[in-house]
Amino acid sequence: MNNRYARQALFLGNNVQQCIQQAKVLIIGAGALGSASSEMLARAGVGQITIVDRDYVEWSNLQRQQLYDEEDVQQKVPKAIAAKKRLEQINSEISIVGIVEDVHGLNIEELMKDHSIVVDATDNFETSLIVNDAAMKQGMPYIFGACVGSYGLTLPIIPGETPCLHCLLNHLPMDAMTCDTVGVMSPIVQVTAAYQVTQVFKWLAGKTMAPIVQSIDLWKDEKAEINVQKLKNPSCPSCGEGPTYPFLQFENQMKTHVLCGRDAVQLRPGITQTHSLQEIANKINGQVTHIVLNLHLLSCHFEEYRIVFFADGRAIIHGVTDPKIARAVYNRFSQIGLVAK
Q: Show which residues are catalytic.
A: 179
Which run of H or of E encompasses 326? helix 323-337
Closest CA to 130 of 102, 161, 98, 158: 102
User: Which residues 6+ apart lie within 8 Å of 28 measured at CB?
Assistant: 34, 52, 103, 111, 118, 119, 120, 121, 122, 127, 131
Conformational region of residue 303, where left means phi above 0, alpha means psi within -120 to 50, and beta covers everything else: left
- What angle (nearest 5°) sits at the alpha carbon of residue 84, between those of residues 11 and 120? 65
Instruction: Transcribe 37-95 into DSSP letters.
Output: HHHHHHHHT-SEEEEEES-B--GGGTTT-TT--HHHHHTT-BHHHHHHHHHHHH-TTSE
Cβ-Cβ contacts under 8 Å for 240 (sequence gap 6 or more) = 233, 234
From the CB of residue 13, how many other CB atoms can be counted at a distance below 10 Å? 12
Are 152 and 193 a contacting pair, CB within 8 Å?
A: no
d(CA 123, CA 145): 9
* 285 contacts 297 by C-beta, under 8 angstroms: no
On whether the CB atoms of residues 24 and 115 are closer than 8 A, the answer is yes
Please report, as a single letter, which amino acid is at residue 66: Q
d(Cα 179, Cα 164) in Å, to the nearest integer?
25
Q: Are 155 and 213 in contact (CB under 8 A)?
A: yes
Q: Is 285 helix (H, G, I), strand (E, B) or coil?
A: strand
